[in-house]
């Protein structure tokens, strides 16, 4: 739930745990997943909030670095674009302004649940790439795409098994053409170095999900993955499209 004056639902995630941490400890554990690019920005934003509200605690001077935060840890998050924000009243639920941390709903039915188990089968997009608009367009829906790819692959690189969040990227199999490119079946979860090799056609994954490592790569670490099979999502509908995987065969540098 985004704060006033927006007061709309901007996304969702799966609850993992709640922790009380100092701001220093929160930065040490989560880094820029706290929502800031640097520790300085993180502490500064907290200090501004403390100073603005200090009159509520008698004007007591508090230091952001030692200030305790309630940290809600989520996984498999989706952050929607502004045009996709949901108005709670439209779904028959209400969020009183007094709600600060959490609100429970007794109903088993979740009105915000989005069924993607029957997602449309991805087909090759014939539309040519517009290089001038591509960087703007690719961002539109990228966070949702990454969230769904992370969840499908259980937050593990499908080649190496890497789980460090900062190293994982959602890779398009067919390069981005339009918003339809953000389809689970056109995606792979790859560690950043594997992603670069894949984009540069030094790694190829065939229709049977077998990895082929180019002979131009001599490093034994990468060669160990040659002819191994990628780890696939549990749900078959989330498997990468065999047809789209084969698109890259002619570009592969064997």
Residues 6+ apart with CB under 8 A from 71: 18, 19, 20, 21, 26, 30
Residue 104's pLDDT is 78
Q: What is the DSSP letter of 233?
A: P
The verdict on 41 and 139 lying in the same domain is no
Count Cα neighbours of 65 within 13 Å in the Cβ-side half-sphere. Answer: 2
The verdict on 244 and 163 lying in the same domain is yes
pTM of the model: 0.74
End-of-domain residue from the set 28, 56, 91: 91
Query: How many separate domains does the chain show?
Result: 2
Q: Report how far residue 41's alpha carbon sits from residue 60's, in angstroms, rounded to the nearest whole number.
A: 22
Across the chain, how many H-helices and E-strands are there?
A: 7, 6
Please report whether residue 124 resides in a domain.
no
Closest to 180 in 3D by CA, of 238, 107, 122: 122
Please report whether residue 183 resides in a domain.
yes
Please report whether residue 149 resides in a domain.
yes
The verdict on 140 and 81 lying in the same domain is no
The verdict on 158 and 234 lying in the same domain is yes
Please report whether residue 221 resides in a domain.
yes
The verdict on 146 and 236 lying in the same domain is yes
Query: How far apart, in Å, are the Cα atoms of 132 and each of 128, 135, 138, 177?
Result: 12, 7, 11, 12
Please report whether residue 129 resides in a domain.
no
Residue 124's pLDDT is 84
Please report whether residue 6 resides in a domain.
no
Please report whether residue 96 resides in a domain.
no
The verdict on 138 and 219 lying in the same domain is yes
Reading the chain (254 residues) residue by residue, the pLDDT tens digits are 888 888 898 888 888 999 999 989 999 999 988 888 899 999 888 888 888 777 665 566 778 888 888 888 888 888 888 888 888 888 877 777 777 777 777 766 666 665 444 456 788 888 776 555 555 555 566 788 898 899 999 999 999 999 999 999 999 999 988 888 889 999 999 999 999 999 999 999 999 999 999 999 999 999 999 999 999 999 898 999 999 999 999 999 99
The verdict on 246 and 138 lying in the same domain is yes
The verdict on 85 and 154 lying in the same domain is no
Please report whether residue 114 resides in a domain.
no
End-of-domain residue from the set 91, 117, 150: 91
The verdict on 243 and 146 lying in the same domain is yes
End-of-domain residue from the set 91, 126, 145: 91
Instruction: Residue 240: count other Cβ atoms within 10 Å of its Cβ.
Output: 24
Domain of residue 35 covers: 11-91
């Amino acid at each position: 739930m985004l704060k006033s004056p927006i007061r709309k639902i901007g996304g969702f995630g799966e609850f993992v745990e709640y922790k009380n941490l100092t701001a220093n400890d929160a930065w040490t554990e989560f880094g820029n997943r706290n929502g800031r690019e640097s520790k300085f920005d993180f502490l500064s934003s907290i200090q501004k909030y403390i100073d603005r509200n200090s009159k509520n605690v008698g004007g007591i001077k508090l230091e952001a670095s030692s200030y305790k935060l309630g940290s809600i840890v989520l996984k498999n998050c989706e952050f929607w674009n502004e045009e996709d924000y949901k108005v709670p009243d439209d779904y028959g639920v209400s969020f009183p302004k007094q709600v600060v941390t959490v609100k429970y709903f007794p109903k088993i039915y979740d009105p915000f649940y989005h069924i993607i188990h029957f997602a449309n089968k991805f087909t090759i997009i014939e539309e040519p790439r517009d290089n001038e608009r591509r960087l703007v367009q690719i961002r539109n829906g990228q966070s949702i795409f990454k969230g769904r790819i992370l969840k499908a692959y259980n937050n593990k690189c499908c080649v190496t098994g890497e789980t460090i969040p900062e190293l994982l990227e959602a890779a398009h199999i067919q390069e981005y053409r339009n918003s339809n490119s953000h389809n689970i079946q056109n995606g792979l979860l790859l560690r950043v170095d594997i992603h670069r090799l894949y984009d540069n056609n030094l790694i190829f994954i065939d229709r049977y999900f077998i990895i082929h490592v180019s002979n131009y790569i001599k490093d034994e670490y990468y060669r160990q993955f040659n002819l191994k099979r990628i780890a696939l999502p549990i749900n078959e509908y989330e498997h990468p499209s065999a047809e789209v995987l084969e698109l890259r065969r002619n570009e592969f540098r064997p």
